Every structure is written in structure tokens, then in C-alpha cells.
Amino acid sequence: MEDEMEFKWNEENGKNGSGQSRQNGSQNQGQDQAPEAYGELTLDENSKKRRIQLLSIIGEVEGHENLSGNAKATKYDHVLPQLAKLEDDDSVEGLLVLLNTSGGDVDAGLAIAEMIASLSMPTVSLVLGGSHSIGVPLAVSTDYSFIVPTGTMMIHPVRMNGLVIGASQTYEYFDMIQDRILSFISEHSRIAYDQAKRLMLNTEMLTRDLGTVLVGTQAVREGLIDEVGGIRDALGKLYEMVDRRRDNLIK
């Protein structure tokens, strides 16, 4: 069943599911970029010389198929090795994750989120623009999270493209995919599982879909995000966490 379906949690139904997108994406296969080209660099110019790794998750989270060449994408096969390298590098003291994503592949997004959640160093996320769909687990995967006042988060049911078998087992598998997402969100934020599910299946807000859009303080009020703030607040919190960890190591 998994070979015949590609599960998407994306704000646009069927996005990048056409043969044309796959054809364009195949032309880019094997074209590696420098880390800075896809939003990864080290921040170490602060007064106390704290070494902070920056990770940007933008556009669509790409799964096993390459997206079209003109689509902004976060490639999980690039991000996962970088996160493993961070955990192995004792000189890096913290991770700042910037998010402006429309969502994307469920397995790829959850893989990145699980990696971030399991890092031993302090981690902070900042939602800029939007962190929709699979971007929600990514936003809550860090130790502390921020969202700008105009930032948005969209929670809605999982979609899939490709061949769909009309059997009860298909829908049971669908529920299992959504349960994985909801369980991760509830375990890594202050929102309860049932409340997250209610937001996902809300029928009163979106005209062409189920789900809920939360803006800035609403995401904080629901318990998804810890605090409203910008880059200054996010870095300040991360510096505070790094300094506290330094003090504990000295003791």
C-alpha cells in the first residue's frame, strides 16, 4: 500500500502531484547545494561566542520524489545528515529553526521533527509567515517555540495522491497516519490530543477544506506555540538556554 500512495500534509490539495512536477524534479536529481544555499549556517558573532546552528525549513518539505525545479523545497535527505552531524559536533551549542513552510511529505516531515526533538543541545523554533500542515510538528519539535504576530499555522486532515484502494483498511491506515501526527504534536506542545484533533477536523472555518488556521497569539492560546516573538526573542531565549547549559556543565 505504501508503494502506491504518497501521503501529503500540505495546504494545497494535490500540490506537486502531477507527472510534470516529477519530470521536472528528476532533472534536478543529484544536484547538491552548499549548506548555505538551503538555509544552514553557523551563528557565532555574538558577544559570548555561542555557536548556534541555523536551520531554515521553507517551501514544501520534499519526500522521496523530487519537486519541480522552480519550487522552494526543504530536502529531508539534506537535513537529516546535517542534524546528525550537529549532534556529533561538541562545538555547536544550540539550534535555531526558522519556519515558513506550506507542509509536504508526512514521513519526511516527521523524520526531521523526530531528529530535532531528540537532539541533546538546546533548540528553539520561530514561525515566520506560516508553518502549515506538517510544519506544525516541525514547529513544536524544539525545546521552545515562537511565532511572529502575523505568523499562521494550519491544521487539517492528511491528504494523499496516487492510487487509492477503496477498502476499509485504507481508511484505517489513514487514521493511523493522522494519529502519528496528532500524538507527536500533543507530546511536544501544551495542546491536548483531543483538542488538536478537533482543530484538524473543524468544519466551520475553511470553505473548501476541513481544519483550522491559527494566527500569532491564537497559536499560543491553543498551546501549540510557547510565545509570540521575533528573531530577537528567539535568539535571546536560545542564548539563555545555552548559558544555563554552560553553567551546569561547569558545576
Q: Are 126 and 39 in contact (CB under 8 A)?
A: no
Please say if 64 is a catalytic residue.
no
Give the largest Cα separation in the chain, rounded: 61
Distance between first and last Cα of the chain: 53
Q: What is the CA radius of gyration of the chain?
A: 18
CA distances (Å), origin 40, targets 61, 84, 101, 123, 201: 15, 14, 16, 15, 35
CA-wise closest residue to 226 among 154, 118, 139:
139
Please say if 21 is a catalytic residue.
no
Q: Which of 156, 186, 188, 189 is catalytic?
A: 156
Q: How far apart are CA 190 and CA 173, in angstroms?
A: 26
Q: How far apart are CA 242 and CA 200, in angstroms?
A: 35
| C-alpha triplet 39, 16, 18: angle, nearest 5° | 150
- Residue 58: strand, helix, or coil: strand
CA distances (Å), origin 84, targets 92, 115, 179, 248: 12, 8, 26, 24
Q: Which of 56, 133, 145, 186 is catalytic?
A: 133
- E strands, 81-204, in order: 94-105, 123-131, 144-147, 152-155, 159-162
Residues recognised as catalytic: 133, 156
